[in-house]
Amino acid sequence: MKKPAMVACVLFCFLYVNAAVAQTAKRMMTLEDVVSLKSVSDPQLSPDGRHIVYVVSEADLKESSSNADLWLVGTNGGTPLRLTTSKKNDNTPRWSPDGKMIAFVSAREEKPQIYRISPFGGEAEKLSDLKSAPSAIEWSPDGKQIAFIAQDPPSDQEEKKKKEKDDAVTVDREFKMSQLWVIDVGTRNASRLTNEDSLTIGQPRWSPDGKRIVFVTNPTPKADDGSLSDLWIYSFVDSISRKLTENTGPDTSPVWSPDGTTIAYFSRPGDVPMVGLQRLHVMPAAGGAPRILTPSFDASVTSIRWSPDGSKILFLSSQSVETHLYSLELRSGKISQLTAGGYVVSSPTYSRDGKTVAMIQQDEMNPADVAVASGSPWKPRRVTRTNGVIDSLKLGRVEVIRWKSYDGLEIEGILLYPAEYTSGVKYPLLVYGHGGPSGAYTRTFSASWGNLGQFYSSNGWAVFYPNFRGSTNYGEKFMQANFLDWGKGDYQDIMTGIDEVVRRGIAEPRTLAFAGWSYGGYLANWIVSQTDRFKAISAGAGLSNMVSMYSTNDIQRYLEAFYGGHPWEAMEEYDKRSGVRYLKNAKSPTIIFHGQEDKRVPVSQGYELYMGLKKNNVPVEFVIFPREGHGLSEPRHQLEKMQREHSWFLKNVLGSEPKPESVKLNQ
């Protein structure tokens, strides 16, 4: 009589176990998964430290646009609440000092405007009616005003000329400057505080007493003038702005001390303003000599915040492949690391009492999410899980590896293993080159149009991220080790790194691919002219002819720092660092990507590479994206770039006939 019951139990258990296995079975990542991933950014902790408002952005493939909304979550976790549902972008959320309202910028009308919304729900209320888009909004300490930056709107005469197509522009003489504004929250009246025809303004910060605003100026909006920034202070007492800093290098990101007597900020020296370490400085708000607080700290610092009692300054710093929070004691100069572990944190925001910090946290297995830490030491815990699809996907683990380059210099990189790695099996290897060159690969989640590491790992590839000389995060000497050396030392660092991965038995040396964007694109253009080891190359927005690049891009000072002067002063150096000079040696099939409106690396650089490869009978494709600048912003363009690159690698590296992946347009 008991047998049927036992059989039923066995059958139930069998079905239960199989159901559990089915639930936990993981699949390969697809490009549809990649485009469906949402990004999380700009967390803002409420003054009482109980809630966090943040921004979630997602792609709309049907419209080929992105949408961003505001979300709210408690510092103890729980289900996040969606605050806005506009089909246009809502961003830059900022808490009012009393925590009762959240101001933000929304593009839900023809021109972006400032809105506010209650964290407890309800409809957003428009505060401004501006002719130019506002940015960098910040509440006054009493909550009665909001400071912001807005560009000078076109004059009636300019509008008339544009309508009549009488709108020729003189280069370097006709700029639209950004000015400092405030809006009265009660009356909705907006007032311009500055009228600096010879300066453009950004990064406003109220003094604790609300009587002054410190801000950053540049001579023009040109990117090339970004290294000439200074700090100024506007006083409501006499309605006058005065210059605070005199450094020939950039001074940025000012933050007031709690008592309003001192300003902390970042600065670089004037001799190498584009490629020196960003160091922490303080100076009297009334003016005077600045003081460097991190003279021997061999890393750049970002994201300043004073402790409530003014005895410490908190900041972020990236070292090796991680980014963590640090504190500096002003009296002793002692620097302490506050967070630690195999992850990256960014965008820290603090409660009024300084006891709680919210931030963005991510690592190689987890996309960016909101995390919270309190107490000592700070151990971040995630309070959001925005991309649950990750739990169902096969992902690869990473290992930080080191090797000696051709000249004995130690180089570090990240090796992403195939998701189903088997020891002794050799895999195709995709090598990425980062942008900059003053940049670095860190322990972030890699599944985006510019870095598809986890996608390739999930589909059976090993992926390698070398932090070649010139990278940040390894000290100033290493960062500047590529002066007068583009395409030499960094190229050898990459190639010796590949040798190390091959030596470890992970990579099949006959199935190598390389991909890079911006400076990574420069390396791609250089590599195709130097070696035939790669079966396929993807070159995105890459520099190919340094002579023509100098005069047509928007950051001449940056190139001068690396090349020792202008091209007419160092023509040999510019010429010999140009990949197009050596294209007669090229053999690797190359696909080129470029934005048609790219000002940083003009599309002409892509044409020069394309024509050189084509005339030398190298298999090549050149894909130009209309309306795009130095990066790809339209989701359909991002998807097409990923699909074409993947097909190129499948065909030329693995010899398989690519089958375009079907992706739904209603993401």
pLDDT digits (tens, 9 = 90+) for 332-391: 999 999 999 999 999 999 999 999 999 999 999 999 999 999 877 789 999 999 999 999
Note whether 482 and 506 are within 8 A (CB).
Answer: no
pLDDT digits (tens, 9 = 90+) for 410-452: 999 999 999 999 999 999 999 999 999 999 999 999 999 999 9
346 within some domain: yes
Q: Are residues 330 and 457 in the same domain?
A: no
With respect to residue 445, please indicate whether it lies within any of the assigned structural domains.
yes
338 plus 465 within the same structural domain: no
Prediction pTM value: 0.94
Q: Is the same domain home to 350 and 446?
A: no
Verify that 492 and 360 share a domain, yes or no: no
Determine the Cα–Cα distance for residues 92 and 109; give it in Å rounded to an integer: 16
398 and 379 belong to one structural domain: no
> DSSP assignment, residue 148?
E
**Residue 410 and residue 362 in one domain:** no
* In the predicted structure, residue 88 carries a pLDDT above the cut 90: no
Last residue of a domain, one of 342, 372, 391: 391
Same domain, 374 and 420: no
Residue 609, φ and ψ in degrees, nearest 5: -65, -45
Residue 152, pLDDT score? 86
- pLDDT of 11 reads 38
Least confident of 9-23, 151-165, 187-201: 9-23
User: CA Rg, the chain, in Å?
Assistant: 26
- Decide if 113 is inside a domain: no
Residues 595 and 619 in one domain: yes
End of a domain among 391, 407, 439?
A: 391
Res 148 pLDDT > 60: yes
pLDDT at 382: 97
| pLDDT interval class at 174 (50, 70, 90) | confident
In a domain, 14, yes or no: no
Distance CA 573, CA 48 (A): 57
Helix (H) or strand (E) holding 537: strand 536-540
For every residue of 125-143, DSSP letters joined together read EE----SS-EEEEEE-TTS
Which one, of 354, 350, 304, 349, lies nearest residue 330 by Cα? 304
Mean pLDDT of 126-151: 97
pLDDT greater at residue 35 or residue 154? 35
Among 357, 373, 391, identify where a domain stops. 391
Q: Does a structural domain hold residue 619? A: yes
Q: What total number of domains does the chain contain?
A: 2
Degrees, nearest 5: CA angle 420-421-424 = 145
For residue 594, the SS3 value is strand
Are 363 and 509 members of one domain? Answer: no
Q: Please give the Cα distance from 137 to 255 (Å, whole number).
A: 15
What's the rounded mean pLDDT across residues 106-116? 95
The CA-to-CA distance between both ends of the chain, in Å, stands at 55
The dihedral through the CA atoms of 395, 400, 404, 405 has a sign that is positive
Token representation of residue 558: 């940056």
Domain extent, residue 576, equals 393-630
Residue 191 lies in a domain: no
Q: Tell whether 371 and 518 lie within a shared domain.
A: no
- Dihedral sign for Cα atoms in the order 451, 453, 455, 461: positive
Same domain for 438 and 353, yes or no, is no
Q: Which CATH number does the domain housing residue 397 bear?
A: 3.40.50.1820
Two tokens at 390? 């990750």
- The answer to whether residue 524 is domain-embedded is yes
pLDDT in tens, 56-72: 999 999 889 899 999 99
Domain contains 476: yes
pLDDT at 318 over 60: yes
**Residues 489 and 604 reside in one and the same domain:** yes
CATH of the domain at 336: 2.120.10.30
